Amino acid sequence: MRTALITGATSGFGRAISFRFARLGYRLIVTGRRADRLAELAKQLRTDFSVEVISLCYDVRDNDSCTKAVQSLVENFRQIDILVNNAGLAAGAMPFEQSDLTDFDQMIDTNVKGLLYMTKLILPTMIKQQSGHIINISSIAGIEVYPNGSVYCASKHAVNALTKGLRIDLVKHGIKVSSVSPGMAETEFSIVRYHGDVEKAKAVYAGIEPLNAEDIADAVEFIVTRPAHVSINDIQLNPSQQANTYIIQKN
């Protein structure tokens, strides 16, 4: 039985990926900061799919917390086959000069440093078993840069560079490294980006049918169900009405 650790499982893509992996029969470690949501998620996964689930509540920005969480894993959960680095966010959507430094810190610390901490912690067991799969949730923002998003885009460009660099360094250990790069998807992402302003968040998707979390779970399922000799480097997916970050055909 394969074991998967998913960061940011309390919402959006991470939650959908957790359900998809449970359907595939994986043993799961679901993580995030909201303890109530984690407890509810773990309960539902166990009930609906009869899979073993551990939930770990911590902030990926804090390496000590990441370390303690991973060290707390019981024996049969220690050998992780799949790490999904999904926890992430955009904070703010303003020109660089008007943006808040705390938003910059939050994006870089979560999207880049959190990914580094978790990858560094999980890698030793993958290297020991000479197999494993790291899937980084990147974004169209890792490929293109758009107005009022320079630091978020920079963080996702870093995710793409790390995905490529890890693939180079880890090929000798039989470890696959993939990414998924979605365009606009309606989750809690825009609510977080606009600091809780639900109306502003809703307006982002007005006039289009955005991607949803299941679409991203489809991509991740495709990646993890390929035969051993096939490694998917990246899957880019957009809503049909989105050509790139700025050409969006609204109804």
Active site residues: 152
- As measured in angstroms, the least distance from the Cβ of 125 to ligand NDP is 21
- As measured in angstroms, the least distance from the Cβ of 187 to ligand NDP is 3
- Binding flag, residue 239, ligand 8X3 (CB under 6 A): no
Number of residues that bind ligand NDP (CB under 6 A): 28
Q: Which is nearer to ligand NDP, 3 or 238 (CB)?
A: 238
Contacts 24+ apart (CB under 8 A), 41-47: 41/9, 41/10, 41/15, 45/18, 45/19
Q: Which stretch binds ligand 8X3 (CB under 6 A): 3-11, 61-69, 136-144, 219-227?
A: 136-144
Helices 150-170 and 115-129 cross at an angle (nearest 10°) of 10
Q: Are 30 and 42 in contact (CB under 8 A)?
A: yes
Q: Which among 182, 165, 184 has a CA at the least distance from the CA of 216?
A: 182
- Binding flag, residue 137, ligand 8X3 (CB under 6 A): no
Query: Binding string, 172-211, against ligand NDP, x = CB under 6 A?
Result: ----------x-xx-xxx--x-------------------
| 17 interface partner picked from ligand NDP, ligand 8X3, none, CB below 5 to 8 A per type | none
Q: Which is nearer to ligand NDP, 26 or 152 (CB)?
A: 152
Exactly one of 3, 14, 77, 245 binds ligand NDP (CB under 6 A); that residue is 14
Query: What does the alpha-carbon distance between residue 162 and residue 227 come to, in Å, rounded to a whole number?
Result: 24
Contacts of 196 (CB under 8 A, 6+ apart): none
CA angle 8, 12, 16 (to 5 degrees): 90
Query: What does the alpha-carbon distance between residue 173 and residue 196 come to, in Å, rounded to a whole number?
Result: 43
Torsional class of 39: left (φ above 0), alpha (ψ -120 to 50), beta (otherwise): alpha
- Binding flag, residue 201, ligand 8X3 (CB under 6 A): no
Q: Are 134 and 85 in contact (CB under 8 A)?
A: yes
Q: Which is nearer to ligand 8X3, 140 or 223 (CB)?
A: 140
Exactly one of 5, 41, 184, 216 binds ligand 8X3 (CB under 6 A); that residue is 184
Q: Which is nearer to ligand 8X3, 122 or 141 (CB)?
A: 141
Query: What does the alpha-carbon distance between residue 157 and residue 233 come to, in Å, rounded to a whole number?
Result: 15
Number of residues that bind ligand 8X3 (CB under 6 A): 6
Burial 9-30 (b: 16+ CB within 10 A, else e): bbbbbbbbbbbbbbeeebbbbb
Positions that interact with ligand 8X3 (CB under 6 A):
139-141, 183-184, 245
Positions that interact with ligand NDP (CB under 6 A):
7-14, 32-34, 59-61, 86-89, 110, 137, 139, 182, 184-185, 187-189, 192
